[in-house]
Amino acid sequence: MPADMKGFAHILVLILLSCVAMAAVPTNCTQAIIGIANDWDDSHVTLSVVEKNAKGQWVRVLGPYKGRLGRAGLVWGLGLHSNPWRATVKKEGDWRSPAGVFDLGGLWVTNKKPVQHDARIPYVNVGPADLWVSDPAYPELYNRHIRLNHPAHTAWEKKEQMRQNDHAHSIKLLICHNTDEPKVNAGSSIFFHIWRRDGGSPTAGCTAMDEKHLRTIIARLNPSRHPVYILLPRQEYAKRRSSWRLP
């Protein structure tokens, strides 16, 4: 290929990548949960809910609330955004929370107190037959919910079983990291849930917060607003605010 054509091809690739990057926050999104960490290795996060008003301006409607992330901090995840070239991305068991822009999924609940929510949000009462598979040895099941026709009883079923008697996991809101055609070993079972020790403990990769704040955020979510979760270190948020259409 002639040198001038190679140059043109390189510019075209950059343009295409730029167009993809601009699609991080969908145009129909008018509600977002924003999580900002100080840097990539920080396990603490500040959470807010923002919405577009009648003038099309983003305004904060809830928060800021304190939260906790994976004990090792953050790393790029798989969601609605495009990751930087050759970026380090989330792996199973890396103790990092996935960064980027993500759709929100349903609720998974064992808490005895009902969780106020929009009826259009799927709501699963988790029982002993419910699994969420994180085992890379089963690629066809990886990062998927499975309901057995019997309570989990084998060693593998018990290992993959969703938490039954763990208050921190009694209310879970799905963060859609690696849920669209899941890639094996790219990270699984990422949720919002209740924090431990009043925020004294980090997570394995989820985003945790006070139960009262989690309930308040869930009650506010409106599927017709196409809400997303935006989780980034402060500098990355500032760098990508324009191109990703961040609030």
- For residue 101, tell me if it sits in a domain: yes
Domain span at 81: 3-126+163-240
- For residue 82, tell me if it sits in a domain: yes
Over range 25-42, report the average pLDDT: 97
Residues 110-153 have pLDDT tens digits of 999 999 999 999 999 999 999 999 999 999 999 999 999 999 99
Predicted TM-score (pTM) of this structure:
0.90
The H helix count followed by the E strand count for the chain is 4, 12
Q: How many domains does the chain have?
A: 1
Kindly report whether the peptide bond that precedes residue 64 is cis, defined as omega within 30 degrees of 0: yes
N residues, the chain: 247
3 state SS for 55-94? CCCEEEEEEEEEEECECCEEEECCCCCCCCCCCCECCCCC
Tokens for 194, please give them.
């209740």
Cα–Cα distance, 91 to 75 (Å, whole number)? 9
- For residue 147, tell me if it sits in a domain: no
- The answer to whether the beta carbons of residues 50 and 246 sit under 8 Å apart is no
Instruction: Kindly indicate the confidence band of residue 14, based on its pLDDT and cuts at 50, 70 and 90.
Output: very low
- For residue 134, tell me if it sits in a domain: no
- For residue 148, tell me if it sits in a domain: no
Over range 29-51, report the average pLDDT: 98
Cα–Cα distance, 36 to 34 (Å, whole number)? 7
Average pLDDT, the chain: 92
Residues 50-97 have pLDDT tens digits of 999 999 999 999 999 999 999 999 999 999 999 999 999 999 999 999
- For residue 208, tell me if it sits in a domain: yes
- For residue 140, tell me if it sits in a domain: no
Angle at 222 between CA 197 and CA 30, to 5 degrees: 105
- For residue 44, tell me if it sits in a domain: yes
Q: What's residue 15's pLDDT?
A: 38
Residues 217-226 have pLDDT tens digits of 999 999 999 9
